[in-house]
Amino acid sequence: MKFYYITFRSVTYAQRGESVLSARNIRCTLLRTPKWMEEQGCGYCLRLWTSDATPAVELLRQNRVPLRKIYAQRSDGQLEELTV
Amino acid sequence: MIYLDNGATSFHKPPRVYRAVEEAMYRCANPGRGGYRAALEASRQIYRCREAAGSLFSCLPEQVALTTSCTHGLNIAIRSIVKPGAKVVVSGFEHNAVTRPLRALGAKITVAGRKLFDWEDTLTEFYRALKNGVDGAVFTHVSNVFGYILPVEEMAAMCRSFGVPFIIDAAQSAGTLPVSMAALGADFVAMPGHKGLLGPQGTGLLLCKGEAVPLLYGGTGSASASQEMPDFLPDRLEAGTLNVPGYAGLTEGLRYILNTGTDKIFRREHAQLERCAEGLKKLGMKVFSGPHQAGTVSFLPGMDCEEAAEQLGSLGIAVRAGLHCAPFAHESAGTLETGTVRVSFGYDASDAQRLGLLQAVSKLTPFSS
């Protein structure tokens, strides 16, 4: 199983994202954003299964939760940034 | 003690408020700063508070900035929309939490509508001031001295039609009357957490429509590489560690209100208010009562108001006398020289409280006699 990471500028946005996704039974985990993903430093992200990524991003956009970046795990395990 | 000083703070909270404060102290570290369990639990606790406030006041969680008091929120709001020397209209019933920050900015203040319980006067004078041209408006929802409920929906509509930014001071209405950010379209609504919202002291909420100017600068746990404050809410207004136990308690206060309903709370307070005003009149007191009144009433006891409150206190009745930090309101009512004795009911208003007060008032004796 591969993961997607969706980053947010504020823990509040990340939590609203978590709330929106949980309400639709999309499982996600709230984490600190790895330093290399966030050049401004200090942020939070949601980690979710790749299979949930498309509906999750759609839901977040529908609910106007401001996303910052999206990272997808490649088959070799490395993460790559996708265009938001 | 019969506690009738809810205008100052709600002294008796629902039991779960106390429990939530204690539990948060055991379970929560610093919110928005770490990724371990206790830090995330703190973040979740803070988010639950924003979420509950958003439900009660019809706004998004990130539009709820956590403050230390209503005064703190009003200072942020006023500095966000009022430039030094700007022209600002206020109602005739404002608290010093509004007028002192305006004075500190050198604002040119127009006081509009000074007749108690008179919506026509309030709206006519407010409209006149807007028409004459102002840069901003700040008005209270409910007078903290007299319980006068101002027609804020109409005042908000006027501001919107004139394109004037405005702030509502909901210190005495939040938790008792409906307050909807979505319906009012206010730039800011400020409120304390410890009065009608039944949370602990040291908590407050500032509902923000959009842009806001920070009052405090410092760490927010976000965008840390930048030396500028974040340009997004609520982080922009929340430098420093938040009072997590306080907001845990406030969350439970908000949930109590969401479960009970402001209509029910208002009816309970207002029923006692009306009967209390009648009872005080029968005892020969000069009572300030009328239409559009919340659960607060002021009266003149026929003696020094501080002496009266002192005697009532010794009889186990907690009320507040004096000017209540609101000289504008007393000036409007003609009580600036004397002050008043204020009785303010809370969510637990009861016949026993009212009857106990009236019995004690009937025993008042001027010190000089």
To the question of pTM greater than 0.90 for the whole model, the response is: yes
Nearest to A42 among B50, B224, B234 (CB): B224
Nearest chain B CA: its distance from A75 CA (Å): 27
Q: What is the mean pLDDT of residues B113-137?
A: 98
- How many other C-beta atoms lie within 10 A of the C-beta of residue B290? 15
Q: Give the separation between CA B171 and CA B269, rounded to whole angstroms.
A: 16
Q: What pLDDT does B100 receive?
A: 98
Nearest chain A CA: its distance from B67 CA (Å): 16
Q: HSE (CB half, 13 Å, CA atoms) of B365?
A: 6
Contacts of A43 in chain B (CB under 8 A): 222-223
Handedness of CA B214, B216, B218, B221 (dihedral sign): negative
pLDDT digits (tens, 9 = 90+) for B327-365: 999 999 999 999 999 999 999 999 999 999 999 999 998
**Omega before B234 within 30 of 0, i.e. cis:** yes
Of B281, B320, B286, which Cα lies nearest the Cα of B303?
Answer: B286
pLDDT digits (tens, 9 = 90+) for B259-314: 999 999 999 999 999 999 999 999 999 999 999 999 999 999 999 999 999 999 99
Q: What pLDDT does B229 receive?
A: 97
For the cut 70, the answer to whether the pLDDT of residue B45 exceeds it is: yes
Contacts of B47 in chain A (CB under 8 A): 11-12, 15-16, 19
For the cut 60, the answer to whether the pLDDT of residue B369 exceeds it is: no
Nearest to B221 among A13, A42, A66 (CB): A42
Q: What is the mean pLDDT of residues A10-16?
A: 96
Q: Which secondary-structure segment (H or E) carries A70?
A: strand A69-73
Please, which pLDDT band fits residue A41 given cuts at 50, 70 and 90?
A: confident
Q: Give the separation between CA B240 and CA B219, rounded to whole angstroms.
A: 6
Task: Express as a percent the part of chain B with pLDDT over 90.
Answer: 99
Please, which pLDDT band fits residue A1 given cuts at 50, 70 and 90?
A: low
Q: What pLDDT does B368 receive?
A: 60
Please, which pLDDT band fits residue A75 given cuts at 50, 70 and 90?
A: confident
pLDDT digits (tens, 9 = 90+) for B158-213: 999 999 999 999 999 999 999 999 999 999 999 999 999 999 999 999 999 999 99
Q: Give the separation between CA B35 and CA A59, rounded to whole angstroms.
A: 25
A76 in B contact zone (CB under 8 Å): no
pLDDT digits (tens, 9 = 90+) for A18-37: 999 999 999 999 999 999 99
pLDDT digits (tens, 9 = 90+) for B301-311: 999 999 999 99
Q: A30 — phi, psi (to 5°)? A: -85, 125
CA B314 to chain centre: 28
Please name the residue of chain A whose CA is at the shortest distance from the CA of residue B34: A32
A10 in B contact zone (CB under 8 Å): yes
Q: What pLDDT does A40 receive?
A: 87
Q: What is the mean pLDDT of residues B117-140?
A: 98
How large is the ipTM? Answer: 0.90
Q: CA angle, corner B258, sides to B48 and A63, nearest 5?
A: 50
CB contact under 8 A, B224 and A40: yes
pLDDT digits (tens, 9 = 90+) for B177-189: 999 999 999 999 9
Nearest to A41 among B31, B50, B223 (CB): B223
Nearest to A9 among B31, B60, B223 (CB): B223
A43 in B contact zone (CB under 8 Å): yes
Of B153, B88, B89, B91, which Cα lies nearest the Cα of B116?
Answer: B91
Q: What pLDDT does B360 receive?
A: 98
* Contact assessment for residue B226 and residue B236, using Cβ atoms and an 8 Å cutoff: no
Please, which pLDDT band fits residue A61 given cuts at 50, 70 and 90?
A: very high
Please name the residue of chain A whose CA is at the shortest distance from the CA of residue B236: A10
Q: CA angle, corner A37, sides to A36 and A38, nearest 5?
A: 95
